[in-house]
Every structure is written in C-alpha cells, then in structure tokens.
Amino acid sequence: MNFIFPMGGLSKRFTDAGYKVPKFMLDLHGFSVFEHAVIGFKRYFQQHNFIFAFLNDPKIEAFVIQKCRKMGIPDKNIRIVKLDGPTSGQAETVWIANREAGLSPADAIVIFNIDSFQSDFVFPTDLDLEKTDGYLEVFIGEGNHWSFVVPGPDHSAIRVTEKERVSDFCSTGLYFFRRALDFDQAFEQTLDMDLSKLQGGERYVAPLYNALIAKNMSVKYHLVVSEGVTFCGTPDEYDAIRYGTPPPTTKLFDH
C-alpha cells in the first residue's frame, strides 16, 4: 500500500492572506499542518510507503524528511517526488508521483490532502478491499465546495461530481485505488480535455472514479462521522483551529 500526499499547490489563499511559508509548514498547537495531516495514518507507518510530492525546493525536502523521521516513519518507507513546477491539479500531481516513486501498475494507492486531518485512520472493515477497485471516504455535510457521491445499493458509488452537489455525501479527500494503473488510465483520459471543460476547472481526483464506474468496476463509498476529519484548507479554517481547541490528531503525537 502506498499513501500519497499531493503537495504541489501554491496555497494562493494563504499567500494572499499574508502568510510567508507554504500552508503545510504553518504551526498548529506545537506541530505543523503537515504533521497533523500525516500523523493520522500513524498505525500504518511501519508497513507501508508514504509518498510526498511537492515543488522542487531543498527547504521543503529537508522539512518533509525531518518531520517524517520525527513522527517515526522509517526512512525506507519515505519516498520523495520533486515537481518541476505547478500542475493542473491534484490528480496530475498523483499521476506524476505514481511514476516518479516507481510504483508498479498493480500497486494500491491511498490519496489524502495535506491540509486535512484524520483523527486516527483505519481501513474500513465493511468493504472487501481485495474486491473493491476504488473507494472514497465521505461524510454528511453542507455546502457546495466538496466532491460528492451519488450513493447506490451496497455502498456503491453511482456517480462522483466535483463542486456539484448531487447528494449530502461529501468527500473527505481520501481516495483509494486498488491498482495505480486504474488511476493512471482514468487520469490520462483527461489529458486531451481543456481545463475549462473539467469539473471544478482543474484535474481533481474524485471525478476520475467515473471512468471506473463506466467500466462496471467496483467503486464504493465509506461513510464516516464528520467529527473524525478536520479541514484546514482555508485561512479561516486554519485560524479556527489555531485559536480554538487542538485537533484530535494532537493526541497521536509522542509528546
């Protein structure tokens, strides 16, 4: 299993708000946003790979490696992918990471945002991941700024949309693909498409599941409680956490 954290965004909203360092480097209750995002997968540090894809910058590379070691991820499980420049979206960043990290077509991947925090992630027990081609984690939420799932029988995903509210099932930003090949092929179908024609105006991960669904592959959703995930993607969300109660991930650190 390979956990992939796309970190190629420019954090424009934070830059515009006056912040001088990348969003994932900002402090939250004694730990960086980066650490809060990664520590939620602590139970898998010893047996799986953790891949970080970010803009080529020696300071960022040193930061990522130092924080991973501090959290207890073995060096053999840390994989670094340095991007030459901004990408057309999170999906392209993952596509590059799959190749640059040397993944095989049959390798399973889990994708998660570097600005969201899992309280203590564990793979769902109600899904047979050996028979599930992909699943995305969802919660019941409000607003239109999420990815959404049209639910079907037996936790199946009938359709996945970006910024188009088709149900109350909002993505937490966690995506599983049983084979990297399936992700890559779904992504490559978008390469000839103008960004303005894509849902959300960039290459997001969630809509790629529709390519799998079109092939009658098994795509599921897994419902979690909203309290299990903390979102830190905007300056307002960051400030709410910064000046409020420490996120649940704080208890996972070795103090």
Over its C-alpha atoms, the chain yields an Rg (Å, rounded) of 17
What percent of the chain is predicted at pLDDT more than 70? 98
Q: Which residues of 216-248 are buried (b: 16+ CB within 10 A; e: fewer)?
A: ebbbbbbebeeebbbbbbebeebeebeeeeebb
pLDDT at site 194: 79
Q: CATH for 2-252, among 3.90.550.10, 2.40.400.10, 3.50.50.60, 3.10.20.30?
A: 3.90.550.10
CB 37 within 8 A of CB 112: yes
Q: Which two tokens stand for residue 24?
A: 């994932």
Residue 5 to residue 208: CA distance in whole angstroms = 17
Q: What average pLDDT does the structure give for the chain?
A: 95
Whether the pLDDT of residue 196 is over 80: the answer is no
Q: Report CA 210 to chain centroid distance, whole Å.
A: 18
pLDDT at site 11: 80
Q: Which two tokens stand for residue 146?
A: 């999420």
Which residue ranges make up each domain of the chain? 2-252
pTM for the model = 0.95
Q: Read off the pLDDT of each residue in 127-154 and give the average, rounded to a whole number.
A: 95
Q: Report CA 239 to chain centroid distance, whole Å.
A: 21
Q: Which residue in 16, 63, 15 sits closest to 38, CA to CA?
A: 63
pLDDT at site 200: 65
pLDDT at site 195: 74
Q: Read off the pLDDT of each residue in 15-41 and give the average, rounded to a whole number.
A: 96
Q: Where residue 193 falls among pLDDT bands split at 50, 70, 90?
A: confident
